[in-house]
Chains A and B, each alone.
Chain A
């Protein structure tokens, strides 16, 4: 069902939801940017609709509300292991279509690839999703080409139109709540973009053979291996385990996992020294082919959702979407080398 609500009325709805859920949305962190006197937009708790930043893309995706950047798995002492209390309160996440599509990618790794991850499962089941409609794409977006511009997996949607919030609420549990606060009920369909300025075409005949292409070499000198592209990505899921020892004998402490980046040093190190991918070009190739090929081979669907955050975040102006568009050239190169 669809509803129109004033900002005041939606605030009341938020107040009601807040009893049971924390509300997470892209919000402003004034002067939170890396450069002085710049702001940062990222996910954080909100209490009113005005706090949601609509005119700008959040630098980091919503995934940190589901997969904490740093998460304690358990505490250990000499004879026992103690799991930390999990947050009981649920969360309502405000996100755009591309980001909601990322959920399916996260689920694939954490619920389907090998045994279920209990921490993920617990948190996942407590999340509800609010779709923020997109009237215009941002310049780096390429959701249409990735098929992630539309979604129906939301609990309710949110669009600002004609001085009112237009809401589509398929979640029957919340329909009464909206009905109580609506100025009118009418069919609402969330807005979505149908074309983007950035275009991407991943070739259908892409195979792992492009590993042999020379296009990756360019990134050896351009990429600085900082990992920003991974950390802002809604579909990157890698982590590293850390053991903290509270005592000198190493028998009491805690184990946590923290986000990891396949672009940064250390990711592919093996015991006894050595690293599987030393150069940034190799790491770029590893990342790009995971997003555009390897993940799909395993799951049947593309990993990248076309949010464009990696392009926005790269301090060296390396464009992931541009790299994807170079793949046909790489295929051609590899094929012609093999023909010789």
Chain B
């Protein structure tokens, strides 16, 4: 048979990082090219295949942040270091970093939506001269849901980072929705602003509205969509919206195109 896109390859698990009770990052060995915002189809033992965004790109490694689902036990997640996992990918277009170079970039992310933009943050946080300014507004349900805690403190040394939780913030965290911080965003030149919005549907909808109210045009906003992508290669049909296949044409869309996509 010809080159079989469905057959996964084995990848070594270099490290497992536990963020929360149910969320873990697997640092996997991977030598090919990959862009932030792309995803891999990951075979999760006892569960099946799931599309997982690349949450980090290292030297010969990729990070995959996986939320434990259903009745899958901790055991699988914790005894995995040194083991291997089946992957295929990367799939999707990913973020094109050039789109944001020289811009005043704002990244608005909610929950696991931080995963696909983590690579973008990392890149610009390390290459600040490539960008005019960098702001991240990230929201989680509660402090125990916060992903990439260490990254936020690292990024905050270079960029403006607003970390907020829906509730239970106490004295340590801000409380409130990410949308609350959008009206107060400062841009030296609004026409040079760019925004990326990733997260649950409602959060995205309100954030985009807030950005537009702040004066951004549709063409200055990018989004990344999360859909049930079974195959990743335009066949299974689950991620199709209108004539667009999120797995092939996305998951990253300029909002000017993305806004026309109605499920």
- Spell out A's residues near B (CB within 8 Å): 73-74, 76, 79, 81, 83, 86, 109-110, 113-119, 121-122, 208, 211, 237-243, 245, 249-251, 255, 257, 260, 262, 267-272, 274, 276-277, 282, 286, 289-290, 293-295, 297-298
Contacts and interface: CB of A to CB of B under 8 A. Distances in A.
Nearest to A122: B1
A118 B228 contact: no
Nearest to B1: A118
B4 interface: yes
A114 B10 CA distance: 23
Contact of A73 (B6, B50, B242): B6
B248 interface: yes
B3 interface: yes
Contacts of B76: 249-250
A193 B4 CA distance: 41
The 10 A-B residue pairs with the shortest CB-CB distance in the complex, in nearest-first order? A114-B234, A250-B45, A238-B237, A250-B46, A276-B263, A243-B48, A297-B243, A113-B234, A114-B233, A298-B243
Contact of A118 (B2, B10, B200, B230): B2
Given A243-B49, A276-B227, A109 B235 contact: yes
Contacts of A298: 243
12 contacts: A73-B6, A79-B84, A83-B7, A119-B1, A238-B236, A239-B235, A243-B43, A250-B47, A260-B236, A267-B228, A286-B263, A294-B242
B103 interface: no
A238 B238 contact: yes
Contacts of A118: 1-6
Contacts of B63: none
Interface residues of B, number: 44
Contacts of B50: 271
Contacts of B227: 268, 270, 276
Tell me whether chain B's interface is mostly helix, strand or loop, or mixed: loop
Given A113-B234, A122-B1, A240-B236, 18 more contacts: A73-B7, A76-B43, A79-B84, A81-B8, A115-B3, A118-B1, A118-B5, A208-B260, A239-B231, A241-B230, A245-B45, A250-B76, A255-B49, A268-B228, A268-B263, A269-B228, A282-B263, A294-B243
A239 B227 CA distance: 15
Listed residue (A86, A241, A242, A245) with the most chain B CB atoms within 10 angstroms of its CB? A241
B245 interface: yes
B185 interface: no
